[in-house]
Amino acid sequence: SEAQLAYVNKYFEAVCSAVLDEDGTVKEFQGDGVVAFWGAPIAQPDHAVRACRAALAAAARLDVLCASWAARGVPAPSYRMGLHTAELVAGEIGSQERGTYGIVGDGMNLASRIEGMNKFYGTRILISEATRVRAGDEFVVRELDVVRVVGRRAPVKVFELIAHGSRPDLSASRSSGRYADALNAYRNRDWNRAAQLLDDLLETHPDDAP
């Protein structure tokens, strides 16, 4: 209906405006998803930082939008984002009759896989280790897991993007550190300590899905 289309366009506007504010390029819309990239056609050495800032800004705008919809009795949509940093090929894609400027490469597939992982972990924004390294220490993140991805032999380390470092969410930052302790205990097979740390976290952060 026209009403549904209006809501979808508001959703796209919130996401796309966050991308464009960080000088990103919106490649296409896939259903209710937005594909965007940085670093082309103009080189941006800080492309990972821009992408992370855009993701956090989009999340903040969508939260406000969804809250306004909920106040009017409109079901709020869920959203997930996945970021990955890789070398891609950018240029004109298509035929002589119809073409568009876009990007191709395996990195696009991995970004899509990472986006889908949010559904399993109950998170909203996940980034790859490559993006984490390239973005530096400007953001509050926490390592969640090392996962196998279809089509890739090497496992991929994924992080939850929590906040911008210059505006840290202190409770999230503390949670991030305690979660890291629990993850280390788990990987060292210190099951009792890992379980105790995670139980303590759940008492103070009962809605923390990971």
Q: For residue range 81-112, what is the model confidence (pLDDT) as tens digits? A: 999 999 988 888 877 788 788 788 889 999 99
Phi first, then psi: what are they for 102, rounded to 5°? -160, -170
Across residues 132-152, what is the average pLDDT?
91
Rounded Cα gap, residues 71 and 6, in angstroms:
17
% of the chain residues with pLDDT over 90:
60
198-203-208-209 Cα dihedral, nearest 10 degrees: 60
Contact 18, 57 (CB under 8 A): yes
pLDDT over 70 (residue 168)? no
Rounded mean pLDDT of the chain?
Answer: 90
pLDDT of residue 167: 66
Provide the token pair at 126: 């996940």
Contact 101, 35 (CB under 8 A): no
Rounded Cα gap, residues 16 and 197, in angstroms:
39
pLDDT of residue 47: 96
